[in-house]
Amino acid sequence: MAISWEISSLKVETSRPGYVNDSLFANGLMQVPVYVFIVAKDPDTGDEYKLSAAELDEVRLVEYHFPEKLPDGWEWDKEPNEFDHYAPGTLGENRAERPSRDDSTLGHQILTCWVRTERAENRSLAAWIQQPDGTIVHTAGEGFESRVTLTGMTPARLYRKDLIVDVETVGFSSWALYYKRYYVSSTRETKLMRFEIHEYHGAHEPNTEQGKFYCFDWINADNYGAFRHIWPLDAPQTVEIGQEGHYVELEINGRKDDLCITAAVVYRGPSDKPWDDSFRHPCWFTAVDRYGNSSDFYVEREDPAVGVGLIIKDR
């Protein structure tokens, strides 16, 4: 037999001062919290009733003017992600901190809904729940009038001038190896949280040899091989590049959270060409900032090809 309860108080708030509005970038990643405050009671005794976790999971956010579902392009999650939860200039340091489930001193149970959107628009949201007797209760009508207005803002664009690129030069006598490590790090204005790499050897080739994986520019010349690689974020490590019988070792990913790109030249004798035929891919990467805004950048060879220069430019 289902336990009978009914809602005696229901409201929604944001964490921004005033508790009625907030802003977020419309990139599908940035979240802002919307808090649903709930008080339920036993209709027979009038005693306070605490909703179970399963019952709280039935709470929804809905569009205020059409309280059936969220508008297209809007979603909410039960858990926060790694991105910032307030937009720049919205008084992040003065925001109210709310418990995620229950605050007995106020008599409310509190559900935190982490809202995100892909739409640059204003939307008013309400809370919705169905009682055991089938009655639908929401905050977009009589009795529990409450709404929050969220503004989805056009995502910010990063440009090459915003990136910080540090270069480390490394040289060894074995095989006359000479290479540079290029580290792409946080911009001057905002922290970079994630990198995604695209168009390198191995991205589409199922049987890529180990030493060619992540290479986007492979040059086989008369007396040298020149190799440019873009590496996924990982722990510091030593990798082998080249091909079987002619590998050389590089140390990569020496900076936590920074994208590592390498450009290496290996000099050989004038008639010694151990490398496979040259190839080149239109390599690029995506940088995602602390607010979930993403921007794309090309990585290209800098002439002369024999050198270890790289060019990073807007895509």
Query: What would the pLDDT profile of 227-252 be if each residue is shown by its tens digit?
Result: 999 999 999 999 998 877 778 889 99
Indicate if 284 and 302 belong to the same structural domain: yes
Do 194 and 288 touch, CB atoms closer than 8 A?
yes
| Stretch 208-233: mean pLDDT | 88
Do 161 and 263 touch, CB atoms closer than 8 A?
no
Task: Please tell me the distance from the alpha carbon of residue 15 to that of residue 99, in angstroms, as a whole number.
Answer: 11
- Say if 42 falls within a structural domain: yes
Q: Of the candidates 97, 131, 153, which is a domain's last residue? A: 153
Least confident range of 83-87, 157-161, 296-300, 303-307: 303-307
**Is the pLDDT confidence value at 224 over 90?**
no
Total H helices, total E strands in the chain: 1, 23
User: What is the per-residue pLDDT for 239?
Assistant: 93
User: What is the per-residue pLDDT for 254?
Assistant: 95
Indicate if 146 and 165 belong to the same structural domain: no
**Is the pLDDT confidence value at 65 over 50?**
yes
Read off the CATH number of the domain in which 148 is found: 2.60.40.10
Indicate if 223 and 281 belong to the same structural domain: yes
Indicate if 219 and 262 belong to the same structural domain: yes
Indicate if 10 and 138 belong to the same structural domain: yes
User: What is the per-residue pLDDT for 202?
Assistant: 86
Place of tokens 């986007």: 216
Indicate if 181 and 149 belong to the same structural domain: no
Q: Of the candidates 153, 178, 203, which is a domain's last residue? A: 153
Indicate if 308 and 223 belong to the same structural domain: yes
Indicate if 182 and 284 belong to the same structural domain: yes
Indicate if 139 and 177 belong to the same structural domain: no
Q: Kindly report the average pLDDT of the chain as a whole number.
A: 88
Do 295 and 159 touch, CB atoms closer than 8 A?
yes
Q: Of the candidates 153, 168, 195, which is a domain's last residue? A: 153
User: What is the per-residue pLDDT for 175?
Assistant: 55
Task: Please tell me the distance from the alpha carbon of residue 229 to that of residue 180, in angstroms, as a whole number.
Answer: 11
- Whole-model pTM above 0.75? yes
Alpha-carbon dihedral sign for residues 134, 136, 137, 142: negative
Indicate if 132 and 198 belong to the same structural domain: no
Do 247 and 275 touch, CB atoms closer than 8 A?
no
Q: Which domain holds residue 234?
A: 160-314
Q: What is the DSSP letter of 85?
A: S
pLDDT tens-place string over residues 252-300 = 999 999 999 999 988 765 556 667 788 999 999 999 999 999 999 999 9
- Say if 31 falls within a structural domain: yes
**Is the pLDDT confidence value at 104 over 70?**
no
Q: How many domains does the chain have?
A: 2
Q: What does the block give as tokens for 195?
A: 């990198």
Q: Is 133 exposed, middle or buried (0-12, 13-18, 19+ CB in 10 A)?
A: exposed
